[in-house]
Structure 1
Amino acid sequence: MAIFTGAGVALVTPFHEDGSVNFDKLDELIDYHCENGTDSLIICGTTGESSTLSEEEHMECIKFAVERTKKRLPVIAGTGSNATYTTIDMSKEAVEYGVDGLLIVTPYYNKATQKGLAAHYKAVAEEAKAPIIMYSVASRTGLNIAPETAAELIRDVDNIVGIKEASGNIAQVAKIMYLTDGKADLYSGNDDQIVPLLSLGGKGVISVLSNVAPKETHDICAKFFAGDVKGACELQLKAIPLIEQLFCEVNPIPVKKAVNLMGMECGGLRMPLTEISPEHEKSLAQAMKDFGIKLA
């Protein structure tokens, strides 16, 4: 059984003015998503600025999310690192806190071979006894999970259950599903490709868009699963202008601004990320209004 189906939010991490994690605001965000149709909470992923969190902050956020969600939604923790043993340590700790699953990005910078990549995931899975979703996003990590490697791991390792696919390569996604007989728990890592990946047997999306449009992102998936493919497509296409603006600068710069424009007051970004340009902020705000999102 999949960890979740539908739209999981790749949650932003709110900060105080001094740059520390704002746990009161994180609590509000968790309630917001529990009450507005989100199907799963992904904490400390790319959108959560995990690469700029200390390990202590990282684990505090994960523990806090599990405690405050109170089983209202599945909680998936991003525990990937460029070091296998660091990934193992964080993953084991997250499992102790009670997460429902782990999202583990390919090791960045090292650029392992496919053999090394398989060894990395197998080592983590052996130590961290929770369902694992691999995360393939070569545009950030410089490392793609080949379909054959993904299929081998999903086939041979019981607790490696699926993959978040953000390659943008539909042919690659189709091959993964072919090689696993459609049994991989496939999640779109691109908000503009939710319906295409669902059509290949996907379980849902791990979404940036859900931060600002949780109900609509949920509905794209729910309509598709209910057989209303036309309705799902209409919602997907309606969201394209907004999705484009949410990625007009590197994620999570625009989405952090977007949640602040909605009045959620999640603070700024940690360097080396900097605030969105005035021109992009203006076009982002317009796209949000056009989509029907109320600004503060």
Structure 2
Amino acid sequence: MADLSDAREKLRGSIAPVITPFREDGSIDEPTLQDLIDWHIESGSHAVSVTGTTGEPSSLTLQERERVMEVAVKAAAGRVPVVPGTGSTNHQETLHLTKLAQEMGADAALVIVPYYNKPSQHALYKHFKTVADSVDIPIIIYNIPGRTAVNLKVKTLASLNEDCPNIIGVKESNKDFEHVNRVLLNCGRDFLLYSGIELLCYPMLAIGGAGHISATANVVPDKVAELYNAWNRGDVKRAQELHYELMPLNDVLFKDTNPAPLKAALGMMGKIHPKLRLPMDLPSQELQEEIRGVLKHYTERPDEGTNGSLHPLLSEK
């Protein structure tokens, strides 16, 4: 079993959920993924995650998910922890990817509540316990009822925490703030609680959260990491300032389904080729203009591509 006390210390802060960049033909752009991970590390992200919701796992084949995980672990090269998303709606596939994450040297696995099939709480317990028992690395459960159509109840999570030593935390993309308070009450204050809701990143730190896994970190990784750093050093005023400073960006990035607005924004910043795979697509021209306007308050040259001109996939002004 991995040193869980060490993991509980290392896996704090801003865990950036990195997008999966595609080339114009839709293939995975591995050099750009490596560049993005370098940028996150240089910008102060405390860890990186791939193939979570923001990484479009449902648009990737199983082999592509494996490859993205491998590229991420190699690119990080031990500089920060890597926490790949290994969950799916298929139990055997989840087991396979989680075991593979351990073999690749990942520091933990982020395992989502299975989506679409709406399992019972008893079935969720059995699913997560089987996954946790199959590996030694830490497991962070990912509860996102808006996407999965089922909420992992606090009682179920507490039972898993009690019975599975390597289930050390949960990413709560849950707007029910009473629920997330009860997570720490029932699972213990050393249980790692991460916010997956951008506007709750600061409030979750205030109740004892371990950090956040915020999609907005793809655009301003330094500011999202500094929100945690400010709180951690006791600078409440600075943390509050960043909370409100980030709100307009958080809002615009979720006016369409994640990661479509993110990829549009990163295309405007010249970081990626702004490509998604169907059935996902770029936001409307109207929303792209709104994103462009908001970005100007956070980044330099938000409307220029890597060759000094607007990316052809993005709408013209």
Common topology (TM > 0.5)? yes
Spell out, residue by residue over 1:42-73, the C-alpha distance to the aligned partner (whole angstroms, 9 max, x if none).
01111110111000000001011111110011
Q: What is the distance in 2 between the residues matched to 1:32 and 1:183?
A: 30
The DSSP-based 3-state class of the residue aligned with 1:41 is: strand
Per the alignment, residue 255 of structure 2 pairs with 248
* 1:176 lines up with 2:183 in the alignment: yes
Runs (4 or more) in structure 1 with deviation over 6 Å come to none
* 1:40 lines up with 2:47 in the alignment: yes
Q: What is the distance in 2 between the residues matched to 1:233 and 1:281?
A: 28
The offset of 1:194, in angstroms, is 0.6
* 1:135 lines up with 2:132 in the alignment: no
Q: CA RMSD in A?
A: 1.0
Whether the 8 Å contact between 2:22 and 2:29 is mirrored in structure 1 is yes
Q: What is the distance in 1 between the residues matched to 2:176 and 2:300?
A: 30
The DSSP-based 3-state class of the residue aligned with 2:213 is: strand
* 1:84 lines up with 2:85 in the alignment: no
* 1:232 lines up with 2:259 in the alignment: no
TM-score with structure 1 setting the length: 0.98
The DSSP-based 3-state class of the residue aligned with 1:219 is: helix
Q: What is the distance in 2 between the residues matched to 1:254 and 1:267?
A: 10
Amino acid at match of 2:232: F
Per the alignment, residue 226 of structure 2 pairs with 219
Amino acid at match of 1:89: H
Per the alignment, residue 204 of structure 1 pairs with 211
Per the alignment, residue 192 of structure 1 pairs with 199
The offset of 1:152, in angstroms, is 1.4
Alignment of 1:1-296 (within 5 A): 1=5, 2=8, 3-295=10-302, 296=304
Q: What is the distance in 2 between the residues matched to 1:73 and 1:66?
A: 10
Q: What is the distance in 2 between the residues matched to 1:131 and 1:104?
A: 10
Give the paired residue count.
Answer: 296
Whether the 8 Å contact between 2:17 and 2:50 is mirrored in structure 1 is yes
Whether the 8 Å contact between 1:254 and 1:284 is mirrored in structure 2 is yes
Q: What is the distance in 2 between the residues matched to 1:293 and 1:234?
A: 21
Q: What is the distance in 2 between the residues matched to 1:103 and 1:265?
A: 25
The DSSP-based 3-state class of the residue aligned with 1:47 is: helix
Amino acid at match of 2:24: E
Amino acid at match of 1:107: P
The offset of 1:293, in angstroms, is 4.7
Q: What is the distance in 1 between the residues matched to 2:95 and 2:35?
A: 30
Q: What is the distance in 2 between the residues matched to 1:74 and 1:140?
A: 26
Whether the 8 Å contact between 1:25 and 1:266 is mirrored in structure 2 is no
Whether the 8 Å contact between 2:263 and 2:282 is mirrored in structure 1 is no
Could you list the runs of 5+ residues in structure 2 that have no partner in the other structure?
305-317
Amino acid at match of 1:173: V
The DSSP-based 3-state class of the residue aligned with 1:290 is: coil
